[in-house]
């Protein structure tokens, strides 16, 4: 005789197995979503940097990526072209002598974006010791937070830090002599930064 249906114990076992699977998968899904958002934010900033460099080389004029902290705590960055031959300067931006070219990229406070994880030891991406300086300043691009590219493709040096606000960071490092950029990744528990994929 063929037995039909399931016993109550079998059904409860099935529900328990489904619940355990969901409990394991949901945190991993959140981590994957944060990781993807961090990669997207990093690529958006890198594309702005590449745009500034290409603009400088193509026009023969100094061009910069300017970073501003917004009043609500978020950040924005935008490409500016030197309009009067003395480099991109905040006073010239305010006076309209240096011009914004292209779109303004905004990264909100609290979301994935510019930032440094707080309260933990983070290795220095240069390879020695711990990350130092002002841990509330994720844009390390001089006092004006301006990264300038020349017509020859060289640039001012700097590092830009982005975070998922939970456990991972990315660093975009710009090397002045060559204008080359390198993106590094770090997560809690890692002893050093790694080249981002």
Please state the domain count of the chain: 1
* Residue 24, domain member (yes or no): no
Which single residue is written with the structure tokens 């460099």? Answer: 53
* 125 contacts 132 by C-beta, under 8 angstroms: no
* Residue 19, domain member (yes or no): no
- DSSP letter for 151, please: T
* Residue 163, domain member (yes or no): yes
pLDDT, tens digit, 9 for 90 and up, residues 96-113: 999 999 899 988 766 788
* Residue 16, domain member (yes or no): no
pLDDT, tens digit, 9 for 90 and up, residues 4-44: 666 767 767 777 766 665 555 555 556 788 889 999 999 99
* Residue 61, domain member (yes or no): yes
| Secondary structure element (H or E) that encloses residue 40, with its range | helix 8-59
Its domain, for residue 114, covers 35-195
* Residue 3, domain member (yes or no): no
* Burial class of residue 138, CB neighbours in 10 A (0-12, 13-18, 19+): buried
C-alpha 56/C-alpha 49 separation (Å) is 11
What CATH number is associated with residue 119? Answer: 3.55.40.10
- Predicted TM-score of the model (pTM): 0.82
C-alpha 105/C-alpha 67 separation (Å) is 10
* Residue 49, domain member (yes or no): yes
* Residue 92, domain member (yes or no): yes
pLDDT, tens digit, 9 for 90 and up, residues 149-160: 999 999 999 999
């Amino acid at each position: 005789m063929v037995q039909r249906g399931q016993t109550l114990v079998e059904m409860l076992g099935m529900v328990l197995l489904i619940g355990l699977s969901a409990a394991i998968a949901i945190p991993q899904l959140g981590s994957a979503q944060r990781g993807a958002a961090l990669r997207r934010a990093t690529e958006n900033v890198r594309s702005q940097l590449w745009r500034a460099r290409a603009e400088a080389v193509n026009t023969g004029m100094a061009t910069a990526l300017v970073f501003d902290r917004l009043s609500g705590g978020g950040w924005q960055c935008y490409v500016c072209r030197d309009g009067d031959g003395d480099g991109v300067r905040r006073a010239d931006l305010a006076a309209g002598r240096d011009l914004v070219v292209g779109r303004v990229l905004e990264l909100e406070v609290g979301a994935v974006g510019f930032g440094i994880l707080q309260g933990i030891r983070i290795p220095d991406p240069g390879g020695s010791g711990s990350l130092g300086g002002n841990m509330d300043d994720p844009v390390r691009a001089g006092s004006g937070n301006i990264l300038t590219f020349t017509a020859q493709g060289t640039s001012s040096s700097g590092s830009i830090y982005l975070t998922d606000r939970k456990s991972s960071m990315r660093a975009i490092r710009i090397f002045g002599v060559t204008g080359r950029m390198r993106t590094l990744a770090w997560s809690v528990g890692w002893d050093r930064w790694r080249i981002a994929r």
